[in-house]
Amino acid sequence: MADRPTEAPREGATVLPDPGSEPHDSSRTHVTGRSEYVDDRPLMRGELVCGLVYSPYARARLVKLDLTAACAVPGVACAITAADVARNAWGSIFVEQPILVEQEAQHAGEVVAVLAAESREALAKALRRVHAEWEELPAIRTIDEAIAAASFIGVERTIARGDATAALAAAPHRLSGTLVIEAADHFYLESHAAVAYPRADGPIEVHSSTQHPTETQHVVADALGLPFHEVVCIARRLGGGFGGKETQAAPIAALAALVAKRTGRPARLVLSKDDDMIVTGKRNPFQIRYEVGFDGAGMLLALDAQLHSDGGAYADLSTAIMERALLHCDNAYFVPNVRVRGQVCRTNHHPHTAFRGFGGPKGVALIESIIEDVARTVGCDALDVRRRNVYRPGHDVTHFGQKIEDNCLPALFESLESRCEYRARREAIRSSNAAGTGPLRGLSMTAVKFGIAFTTRFLNQANALVNVHRDGTVQVSTGAVEMGQGVNTRIAAIVAERFGIAIDAVRVMTTSTEKNANTSPTAASAGTDLNGAAAAKACEAITRRLGHLANHLRGLPADRWPSRTAGLGTAPEFVVPEGPPPSPVRFERGAVIVEADGGDAFEIPLPRLLGEAYLSRISICDYGHFATPNLGFDKEKGQGRAFLYFSQGVAASEVEIDRRTGEVKVRRVDLLMDLGRPVNHALDMGQVTGGFVQGMGWVTTEHLFYDDHGLLVSHSPSTYKIPSVQDTPRIFNTDLVFNERNTANIRGTKASGEPPLLLSLSVWTAIRDAVMSERERLRGELELVPIAIPATAERILRAIERETFAAIEAR
């Protein structure tokens, strides 16, 4: 998809490629196996490998920890415990979580000690010789137990509009229910990893698989008792993150750094997949009780919902996740009277954390499930109910008071309904299911309206350093972390466009707190939005100066240019004035062009102009800082402009269920998204399809199991089922709408990282559609069947054969 007119290139000019066709900047090194991740860094002389000792119980008192035998193993260099930590507390919102347990573990997998050895063999032997005695204590394992014990994190939050109580009382129809959404693991391919290097003069350099280098830098510094400037955190690339490395990478890096500081030797801590899954938090489980009021046509009149989430043992980001869940309870639909309340529960699970979509999927799951039930209750197709309630002119203000600008939702529904032949397929599925022969099928179309921005205002900022070299090449440093999503490629494209050069003339440098300090995490789908805008601001400062110089050179004889006079000092030096250049300047195809009034334009190759700028002592480097404008969400009132804009989309999913086993196959998915004017169409398509498939795993197969002591037992691919190529939709039609109306964001683009994952809920609602159709066939009457997320084969079979399973369990 080209976003500029095509034209014949000038003689000798650099031909710029279509911005939608550029490959991921690491694609070649990925496929050739040369991409370097943290654990690919070559071992240095004297480097130590580290391993963790952690609690096997959800809650337990550490009676005795004897590391004597472990430390006696040849090759073991040291053991680190809580006594070695200068500041044994960290946390992104509430500083309450220890780096290492002192006396009482609050979740299974909580680390009590780190061992460091010269070889993996010595480390494994030492870990087996650790002697730890625990007194298991009563633990809170469920949301209901936390509610009964009033075990909470933070305060209850409320977002409201109108009078939900009165509107419910007056509504012609009402439904109530409970939606259960369980946890899911991030399952990034690269586990948490960090290597810490002690430098000769005191500082510590940490290479970490982190989405938030600044927070990692600060947590490491605090744990070591160092000022921030004595720690540098570097993140070259991540082998996946999905939110799981936004906060929880920091203590892993701190543990490696503690060993490095103690021994004066490099220290490497790379978790196995088993340890990673046991130790780290997941997507927050939710339990939502709700009541909805509606009329005979399925128009929503009121919604009252109480959301409880399992935050785990410590706060992490759970209160912010709950806030976003509350903000997305409307999703794509206008509800005139709303009261949604949210409370995070403190349990004895690993502290749950950010996950692609943050809390948004929970709120969207709620309203999409409700619409399915409303439609069946009033005897309408669920798509009709969605289209009647979708945000539209006159009904385009959210329950938190933000007007939806550039609303594409009605058009997206209309377009996809036609594209996917929804009506004909719906009728065919209805007839097939009624016959009761062959596989059971379901069809559902859901939407997403995902707000883009951090709801904590100060996080919406970024900085960038742009260094232009005299040969016309550019180095860019930002706080964005490349974790597979292509943020480096997008930023390079933005910078290349500003200077009118080929994208391969731009190098995005490794992310480091040494060059970009006080950065926000690469999260909230805002990596390109923030860091790309900061880089663009730095480019604008440089191009303004170059534009002035080009205007100046246009009026000078060639023998008076700095390249002819600077060495001799025979001409006055040019001082760049304030404001824009007197004549418009274009940067394109490797040249700088000054437009002329009625005459020939002045053109100079960019490298030539850069050389003249250097000789004129004009800076061709700059630092840009960007703060997202027009945000104003009052967290106490639950009202205001929480987001810069909304990424929007719709998806129709058709599923097939084996009546005997409950196995689900996704027959077809049709997906349509508005992402504005993509910086890179191919990368956005990758994000859309990848996010959807990841979400499919969350809503169908990814089920976590814990033993009686609270220790995760499904901690590997053999026991935790992520989607494989065999699970992808048999037919997968994906397209983007080219939308010129989005002026809120840089280049008119919209974020693609998180929003498509929420469209995978169409698979879950299609499963419910199929199950409820089968129940109606078997019983001859309407039955609204709740199914928890994930809708595993067992849960589906139990929902279809409720009486059979009840009889078996009653024996």
Q: Quick one: pLDDT at residue 789? A: 98
| Each residue's pLDDT tens digit, 350-374 | 999 999 999 999 999 999 999 999 9
The reply to whether 344 falls in a domain is: no
Q: Quick one: pLDDT at residue 597? A: 77
Which residue of the set 246, 754, 774, 801 is catalytic?
754
| Each residue's pLDDT tens digit, 72-98 | 999 999 999 999 999 999 999 999 999
| Each residue's pLDDT tens digit, 200-214 | 888 999 999 999 999
| Residue 754 annotated in active site | yes
Which pLDDT band holds residue 600 (cuts at 50, 70, 90)? confident
**Domain end residue (candidates: 279, 299, 321):** 279
Q: Is 205 helix (H, G, I), strand (E, B) or coil?
A: strand
Q: What is the C-alpha to C-alpha distance for residues 669 and 671, in angstroms, rounded to an integer? A: 6
Q: Which residue has the tokens 């599923």?
A: 655
pLDDT higher than 80, residue 119? yes
Q: Quick one: pLDDT at residue 14? A: 34
Range of the domain at 75: 38-140+187-279
Which pLDDT band holds residue 16 (cuts at 50, 70, 90)? very low
466 and 396 together in one domain: no
Q: What is the C-alpha to C-alpha distance for residues 264 and 77, in angstroms, rounded to an integer? A: 11
Of 82-86, 498-502, 568-572, least confident by mean pLDDT is 568-572
pLDDT higher than 50, residue 4? no
The reply to whether 639 falls in a domain is: no
Q: What is the C-alpha to C-alpha distance for residues 711 and 278, in angstroms, rounded to an integer? A: 7
Can the peptide bond before residue 572 be classed as cis, meaning omega within 30 degrees of 0?
no
pLDDT higher than 50, residue 17? no
| Each residue's pLDDT tens digit, 261-315 | 999 999 999 999 999 999 999 999 999 999 999 999 999 999 999 999 999 999 9
**Domain end residue (candidates: 261, 279, 297):** 279
pLDDT higher than 80, residue 741? yes
490 and 557 together in one domain: yes
pLDDT higher than 80, residue 592? yes
778 and 734 together in one domain: yes
Q: Quick one: pLDDT at residue 20? A: 61
Q: Would you mind telling me the total number of residues written for the chain in this entry?
A: 811
pLDDT higher than 80, residue 598? no
408 and 488 together in one domain: no
Average pLDDT over residues 572-598: 93
The reply to whether 600 falls in a domain is: yes
What value does the CA radius of gyration of the chain take, rounded to a whole number of Å?
A: 29
What sign has the CA pseudo-torsion 73, 67, 710, 111?
negative
690 and 612 together in one domain: no
pLDDT higher than 50, residue 11? no
Which pLDDT band holds residue 416 (cuts at 50, 70, 90)? very high
CATH of the domain at 425: 3.30.365.10
Average pLDDT over residues 687-699: 98
The reply to whether 20 falls in a domain is: no
Average pLDDT over residues 545-555: 96
Question: What is the domain count for the chain?
Answer: 3
Residue percentage of the chain with pLDDT more than 70: 97
469 and 588 together in one domain: yes
209 and 88 together in one domain: yes
The amino acid occupying position 207 is H
Which pLDDT band holds residue 1 (cuts at 50, 70, 90)? very low
The reply to whether 317 falls in a domain is: no
50 and 119 together in one domain: yes
Nearest partner of 177 among 365, 321, 381, judged by Cα = 365
pTM: 0.96
Q: Which residues contact 736 (CB under 8 A, 6 or more apart)?
A: 1, 672, 673, 674, 675, 678, 681, 684, 685, 688
Q: Quick one: pLDDT at residue 12? A: 32
Which pLDDT band holds residue 599 (cuts at 50, 70, 90)? confident
pLDDT higher than 70, residue 529? yes
Q: How many helices (H) and strands (E) does the chain have?
A: 22, 29
The reply to whether 6 falls in a domain is: no
Of 650-664, 708-722, 734-748, least confident by mean pLDDT is 734-748
532 and 438 together in one domain: no
Element (H, E) at 741: none
473 and 447 together in one domain: no
Q: What is the C-alpha to C-alpha distance for residues 619 and 141, in angstroms, rounded to an integer? A: 60
| Each residue's pLDDT tens digit, 143-201 | 999 999 999 999 999 999 999 999 999 999 999 999 999 999 999 999 999 999 999 88
Strands 76-80 and 111-117: antiparallel
257 and 403 together in one domain: no
Q: Quick one: pLDDT at residue 438? A: 84
**Domain end residue (candidates: 237, 254, 279):** 279
The reply to whether 714 falls in a domain is: yes
pLDDT higher than 60, residue 7? no
699 and 604 together in one domain: no
Mean pLDDT, all residues of the chain: 95
Q: What is the C-alpha to C-alpha distance for residues 383 and 499, in angstroms, rounded to an integer? A: 47
H helices of 225-288, in order, are: 249-263, 273-279
Average pLDDT over residues 320-332: 98
Helix axes 527-554, 487-499, angle to 10 degrees: 20
The reply to whether 177 falls in a domain is: no
